[in-house]
Amino acid sequence: MKQDDATSRVDDSILFGLYEMMVRIRLFELEVQRRYRQQEIPGFVHLSLGQEACAAGAVGALRPEDYVSTTHRGHGHALAKGVDMDGMAAELYGRSEGILRGRGGSMHLADATHGLLGANAIVGANLPIAVGAAWSSRQLALGRISLVFFGEGATHGGLIHESLNMASIWALPVLFFCENNGYAEFSAHKDRSAIKSVVELASVYGIDSVHVDGNDVEAVFEACSHAVDACRDDSRPFLIEAHTQRWGGHYEGDPEHYRDTHSDVLREHDPVKEAHGRLTERGVSEASLVELKSRLERAVRAAFERALHLPEPTPAGPADV
């Protein structure tokens, strides 16, 4: 897709930074996938391949002290928030050096030092928690905003209603970011929900909202920057509905009987390739982008190799876990 210079939205240096984060997420997730398939990683993993622009673009618009809450599909959000890759890899392997000491794994990644309040395995459960973080920020006059990622599947349940309601009546600085990838576990959104768009839902609660192309990292970054300013300056909530796709199944290993995984439509959008194209169009050299990718590949591989070779924990008993 040709980028019209007149509508070039984001500074080249910012776009480069967003692209770097997207590549980091892409490579990290591919590495998790590879090693999971080799049965090196225990439990389950829910990969965000295809959704990188949402994580990079949204978190990119935040300040380091702002809060992020995420879901079971949270590796990208954690990386974007600056969580240490070594610690994340070690956690996926269940080592004591993991950021959660091996207690939580993929679905519960949290890092208070980077404002990552936690990934949550219960659909929708992170929503009121994020509202609470916004509440405390306002109460303690910290000036932080609280960004909460959720999928459109969270609109099936009650927690989103309660959270939108409280954020609205109490005018809290919450940025509700919906990654609408069209599938809630094995179900297509249209089959399970009477809500056509999450933006509609926000308007019922008096909350400003926009749709955004979740595969266009510049559009995501721009929309979030605007929303973050609104949240912070006016102390009010905002909702963004980003349209994207997940390339993988609900979980790694999902046979995906519910959709045609060989269809070109699924892979039609590649947010990383899209951003790459825009950078080269703006004069960034292909060589520098290749170098970037190699550097990140080495870093990702090193993180996983290191984690793999850390010893398994040896607790004396349950009190030691």
Partner 1 sequence: MHAIRAGIAEEMERDPSVCIFGIDVGAGGGAFGVTRGLQDRFGPTRVVDTPISEMGFMGLALGAAMTGCRPIVEIMYMDFIGMCFDVLMNQVAKVPFMSGDKISVPMVLRTQFGAGRSAGPQHSQSLEVLAAHIPGLKVVMPATAVDAKGLLMAAVRDDDPVVFVENRHLYGMSSEEQVLSEVVPIGSARLARSGADVTVVAYSRAVHFALDAAALLEREGIEIEVLDLRSVVPMDEKAILASVAKTGKVLVLHEAVVDFGVGAEVAARIADRGFEYLDAPVRRLGAAPVPLPFSPALESVCLPTVGKVVEILRELVSY
Could you tell me if 117 and 69 are in contact, meaning their C-beta atoms sit under 8 angstroms apart? yes
Does position 63 interact with partner 1 (CB under 8 A)? The reply is no
Does 298 help bind partner 1 (rule: CB under 8 A)?
no
Q: Does 204 bind partner 1 (CB under 8 A)?
A: no
Q: Which two tokens stand for residue 60?
A: 């990119």
Closer to partner 1 by Cβ: residue 158 or 255: 158
Q: Is 317 in the site for partner 1 (CB under 8 A)?
A: no
Q: Does 217 bind partner 1 (CB under 8 A)?
A: no
Backbone angles phi, psi at 69, to 5 degrees: -120, 140
For 137, list phi and psi in degrees, rounded to 5.
-60, -40
Q: Which is nearer to partner 1, 50 or 132 (CB)?
A: 132
**Of 157 and 182, which has the nearer Cβ to partner 1?**
157
Residue of 49, 53, 78, 110 that binds partner 1 (CB under 8 A): 110
Nearest residue to 240 (alpha-carbon basis) of 64, 8, 50, 57:
57
Report the distance separating Cα 146 and Cα 231, nearest Å.
9
**Residue among 159, 59, 162 nearest 114 (CA):** 59
Residue 60 in contact with partner 1, rule: CB under 8 A: no
The reply to whether 255 sits near partner 1 by the rule CB under 8 A is no
Q: What CA–CA distance (Å, rounded) separates 156 from 201? A: 11
Cα torsion 150, 152, 155, 156: sign: negative
Contacts with partner 1, 156-185, as mask; x by CB under 8 A: --xx--xx-xx--x----------------
Q: Are strands 208-213 and 238-243 parallel, antiparallel or unpaired?
A: parallel
Cβ 116 vs Cβ 108: under 8 Å:
no
Q: Rule CB under 8 A: say whether 103 interacts with partner 1.
A: yes
Does position 141 interact with partner 1 (CB under 8 A)? The reply is: no
For partner 1, give the closer residue by CB, 105 or 248. Answer: 105
240 beta partners: 177, 210
Q: Which is nearer to partner 1, 81 or 269 (CB)?
A: 81
Site residues (vs partner 1, CB under 8 A): 67, 69, 98-101, 103-104, 108, 110-112, 117-118, 120-122, 125, 127-137, 139-140, 142, 146, 158-159, 162-163, 165-166, 169
